[in-house]
Amino acid sequence: MLSVDQSRELADRLDIVDVAIRYATALDTKNWLLLNEVFTPNGALAAGPIGEVNGPTAIAAAVARVLEGVTTQHLNANHIVSVTGDSATHNSYLVARHVRPEMSGTNWYVVAGTYSDRLVRTEQGWRIAHRRLDVTWTDGNPDAHPGAAPPG
C-alpha cells in the first residue's frame, strides 16, 4: 500500500502529465481557451518562431498565427517529472506532424524536440510557469508549415 506522501507524489505526476497533454490538445483542436488551464496568468512559452510570449491570451494568439491553415497532431512521450513542494519540473519529447490539406505534393512537415517546463501548484491545479521548446530535428516540406520558420 502507498503512503500518503507516495500517493500525493503519484497524483502530482499524473496531474502534471495531464497539463502537458492538455497543451497538445489545445493546439490540435485549436481550442485556445484551454490554454488558460495550462499556463499561469503570467506563464511563458519560448518556442522557435514565436520567441518568448507571456500569458495564456498572448500565447494563444501567437500559436494560432503559427498554426493557421495547418492541421496538427502533437504527441508527447518520455515524461520526466520532479516535484518539490508546490514547484515542479517536467521534460518530455515531442513529435508534431503538421499537414496543409489543400497543398499538393508533400503537404506535411514534422517537428521533433523536447519540452522543458517549470510548473507551480495553484488553487486550480498545476500550471506551467515557463515552457521552452528545443527542436531536435525536422522532416518533410517546410513550405507545408511556413509558420515554423525561425524569425528574421
Residue 145 has pLDDT above 70, yes or no: yes
Give the model confidence (pLDDT) of 28-79 as tens digits.
999 999 999 999 999 999 998 889 999 999 999 999 999 999 999 999 999 9
Residue 58 lies in a domain: yes
pLDDT given for residue 150 in this prediction:
56
Mean pLDDT value of segment 142-149: 84
Residue 114 lies in a domain: yes
Q: Which phi and psi (to 5°) does residue 91 adopt?
A: -130, 140
CATH code of the domain covering residue 64: 3.10.450.50
Query: What pTM was computed for the model?
Result: 0.93
Residue 29 lies in a domain: yes
Residue 151 lies in a domain: no
Q: Which residue range(s) make up the domain with 117?
A: 4-146
Residue 122 has pLDDT above 70, yes or no: yes
Residue 152 has pLDDT above 50, yes or no: no
Q: How many alpha carbons lie under 13 Å from residue 1 in its C-beta half-sphere?
A: 2
Beta-sheet strand order (sheet of 71-84): 51-54, 39-47, 125-140, 108-122, 87-99, 71-84
Residue 147: C-alpha distances to residues 7, 48, 73 (Å):
42, 10, 15
Residue 7 has pLDDT above 90, yes or no: no
Cα separation, 60 vs 33, in Å, equals: 8
Residue 83 has pLDDT above 80, yes or no: yes
Residue 66 lies in a domain: yes
Per-residue confidence at 151, pLDDT binned at 50, 70, 90? Answer: very low
Residue 142 lies in a domain: yes
Mean pLDDT for all residues in the chain: 94
Residue 53 lies in a domain: yes
Domain count, the chain: 1
Residue 152 lies in a domain: no
